[in-house]
Structure 1
Amino acid sequence: MKKIILASVLALSTGFAAAAFVGPNSAPLMTTAADAAKADDDVPVVLEGYIVKQVKGSHYEFRDNTGTIQVEIDHDKWPVQNITPQMKVRLSGKVDRSKFTGFEAVDVKLVEIIK
């Protein structure tokens, strides 16, 4: 029950408005790069940290205090304001995992600058 409440509070406090089933057999919300890298495909993710560099195309390296992972941010998901590696951001999306190659990236649906 505590996990359900925590996931609900996190989702509401981050502005991530996507609804999802939360109950028995539902996946927990991942909140760190290390946890997201180990999570199953399509698990919801809300990460806070820094986009440190562009890897290739729409793929970027994201860093938080648990490590780095690759995130995919389509051009239409970026906010109007430019983002630098020194700016803290909140990324909301889902894990994108290939059954053949393993972890691919976090597919980002919302980028927010944290002031």
Structure 2
Amino acid sequence: MRYTVSAAAAVMALGAATLAFAQPSGYTGPSNASKAAAQGSYSGPNNVPLMTVKQLVDTGRDDQAARLQGRIVSFEGDERYTFEDATGRITVEIDNEEFPAGQTVSAEQRVELTGEFDKGLRKTEFEVDHLTLLP
């Protein structure tokens, strides 16, 4: 019995390691790296300000809530993607469960990302709490 538990743990660890390098099933665009659950979401009014990448990078404060509209243009690995709008690009962190269940997101699909700006001394990125497909 003890051997069975250890073997199962090893298989689970191997599976987790494999997922860390595979492109997520919810995104089908380009990937620069060698990784969706069904989930409900709120769809009512949103008071989080809509900003451009340039506005966010130039004037955003650390931990500021914001919304961005544009395209996810590439997968960089470890839940990190490059997001682009008409004003520039920013690295975004998107957990796999934020992708719409049963749908894929291509590099041509317009999306709205709601989340929090992470502005540090060495890196600037946007941590996504919610992803919405736009028409």
Q: Normalising by structure 2, report the TM-score.
A: 0.61
Q: What does residue 50 of structure 1 align with?
A: 71
Pairwise CA distance, 1:59: 0.5
In structure 2, do the counterparts of structure 1 residues 96 and 79 end up closer, same or farther at CA, with 3 Å as the change threshold?
same
Q: Matched residue pairs, number?
A: 91
Secondary structure of the structure 2 residue equivalent to 1:37: helix
Q: Which has the larger radius of gyration?
A: 2
Task: Give the gaps of 5 or more residues in structure 1.
Answer: 1-13, 21-28
1:69 deviation in Å? 0.6
Paired with 1:95 and 1:110, the residues of 2 have a C-alpha distance of 13
Deviation of the 1:15 alpha carbon: 4.3
Q: 1:93 maps to which residue?
A: 115
What are the within-5 Å matches in structure 2 for residues 1-115 of structure 1? 15=44, 29=49, 31-38=51-58, 39-80=60-101, 81-98=103-120, 100-103=121-124, 105-115=125-135
- How far apart in 2 are the matches of 1:31 and 1:74? 21
Cα deviation 1:47-99 (Å, max 9, x = unaligned): 1100000012101000000011110001111112100011000000010122x
Deviant stretches of 4+, over 4 Å: 14-17
Q: Structure 1: how far apart are the matches of 2:55 and 2:63?
A: 13
Distance 1:77 1:16, change over 3 A: farther
CA distance in 2, matches of 1:16, 1:109: 16
CA distance in structure 2 between the partners assigned to 1:53 and 1:15 by the alignment: 29
